[in-house]
Amino acid sequence: MRQLRGKPLNDLLKGLSRPEVDLVFVLQDMQDPVNVGSAFRIADACKVREVVLTGITTRPPHPLIKKVGRGRDRRVPWRYVETADEAVAELRGDGYEAIALELASGAQLYTDVEYSSQVCLVVGHEDHGVTNRTLAACDRAVYLPMYGRGASLNVHVSLGIAAYHILHAGGSRA
């Protein structure tokens, strides 16, 4: 076994077919530009429709977003909306199921949910998470199980895990 590079790597990637899930990320008050850059990189890898930055989320152009995201903020469509609940309401009006990734009452284990073919995935501030106001605007909340002593993972790590799961488990209902 050898690491793929060049043409063999390109051939492998071109041969992959992306699941038919329309995915949008909403970043609520994500302050750390490293997390925002990572979110753009995940968005590019998952081929999301767009990234919606809200509240005090650090926005491009920013040198750390560019560096960590490897310039994906120039490749992935993004826009700014003042509040996350406003962005969620707009996306729900467009037919998206709004799912907050948050440790919240009534949240379901992320692997136990049947996802629609249009998902708006909402993640929140590094310390405070998704606000109650935004949670109320969402259709549901999901969480990642934590088996160690920590209560959560880094927000961009959680975003990547949930996004890939939604892509590969989603689209089972219209």
- 86-118 pLDDT tens trace: 999 999 999 999 999 999 999 999 999 999 999
State the pLDDT at residue 174: 44
Answer whether residue 100 is part of any domain: yes
Number of domains within the chain: 1
**Mean pLDDT computed over 61-78:** 96
3-class secondary structure per residue, 7-49: HHHHHHHHCCCCCCCEEEEEEECCCCHHHHHHHHHHHHHHCCC
Answer whether residue 13 is part of any domain: no
Q: Over 90: is that where the pLDDT of 170 sits?
A: no
DSSP reduced 3-state for 127: coil
Answer whether residue 174 is part of any domain: no
Tell me which residue range forms the domain holding 155. 19-169
Q: How many CB atoms lie within 10 A of CB 31?
A: 13
Answer whether residue 144 is part of any domain: yes
Answer whether residue 122 is part of any domain: yes
State the pLDDT at residue 55: 98
Q: What are phi and psi of 61, to 5 degrees?
A: -80, 135
**Mean pLDDT computed over 121-143:** 98
Answer whether residue 9 is part of any domain: no
Amino acid at 78: W
Answer whether residue 14 is part of any domain: no
Q: Over 80: is that where the pLDDT of 151 sits?
A: yes
Answer whether residue 156 is part of any domain: yes
**Mean pLDDT computed over 147-162:** 96
CATH number at residue 165: 3.40.1280.10
State the pLDDT at residue 36: 98
